[in-house]
Amino acid sequence: MSSASTSTRLMVNMAEIHVLTGAGQLVGLGLGSCIGLAAYDGSKKIAGLAHIVLPEAFVDRAVTEPGKFADTALPELIRKMELAGASRASLKFAYCGGANVFKFGPGKTNDVLEVGRRNADAVKAVLSKFSCRVVAHDVGGNSGRTMTFDVATGLIQVKVLSVGQEDLCTLS
C-alpha cells in the first residue's frame, strides 16, 4: 500500500495487486482474457486493483502470487485494502476483461479453451461468495482492454482498442 500524488500512475501487471490511497491512478494494461478487479472505499479514498490471469489456484502447486487466480485474488485484495485502512463493509467492486478468441475452429470439443469466459465466471462467483457489492462490470468480447482507476474519485474508465475509452462507473 502507498499514498500517492495526483500524478502517480501505477501499472498493475499480471498477477499483481496494488493499493493506493488519496490520489493517483491504478492501470490494468492490456487485459486480454485477464480480469482487472477493482475495489474502493470511497469515504477513505482507498483503491485497489488486482490483475487476475486464471480462474482457480492449482491444487497441486503452492500459491506464490495470490493475485494470479480469481479465488485467491479477491481475499488478498480485501486483506490489502483493510491493511490500508479500508472498511470491508464500505467496499464496492467493479471488474472488466475476460475477452475470448473470435472462433475455435473446426472440431472444437473443449470449453476449457475459453479462458476469458471462465475467468469472468470465476470472478463473479467469488464476489458472490464473499457477498461483495458489485457496481459494474464489462466482460467478454474479442478485444483487449485497458482499465484506468482514479483513486481520488473512484472513476473507472475502460479503453477498448480500436473503439475508444468509456466510463465504466464511479465507485464512490
Partner 1 sequence: MHAVLNLTPEQDVKLGQIIAKVQDLPSMPAAATRVLQITGSADTNAQMIADAIVLDQALAAKVLKIANSAFYGLSRSVTMVKEAVVVLGISHVRNLVITASAAPWMRRALPGYDLEPKQLLLHGSAVAIGARMIAKSRRLTVADDAFVAGLLADIGKIVLSEYFDGKLATMISLGAQAGMTFDQVETKVMGFDHACVGARLAEDWNLPATLVHAIRYHHAPSEAPEAYRPLCDCIHLADYLTMLCGFGMGGDGMFYEVDEAAFERLGINANDLDHIVDEFVTAYQHQEALFEEISQS
Sheet harboring 35-41: ordered strands across? 2-3, 17-21, 46-52, 35-41, 92-97, 133-139
Contact 116, 95 (CB under 8 A): no
**Member of 100, 147, 154, 171 binding partner 1 (CB under 8 A):** 100
**Binding residues among 63-82 for partner 1 as defined by CB under 8 A:** 68
Is residue 5 close enough to count as binding partner 1 by CB under 8 A? no
Rounded Cα distance between 5 and 24, Å, is 6
Q: How far is the CB of 66 from partner 1 (least distance, A)?
A: 13
Interface residue with partner 1 among 47, 49, 54, 96 (CB under 8 A) is 54
Grid cell for residue 32: 486480454
Strand partners, 96: 36, 138
Report, in Å, the least distance between residue 170 CB and partner 1: 25
Interface with partner 1 (CB under 8 A)? 14-15, 29-34, 53-56, 58, 61, 68, 99-110, 112-113, 115-116, 142-144, 161-163
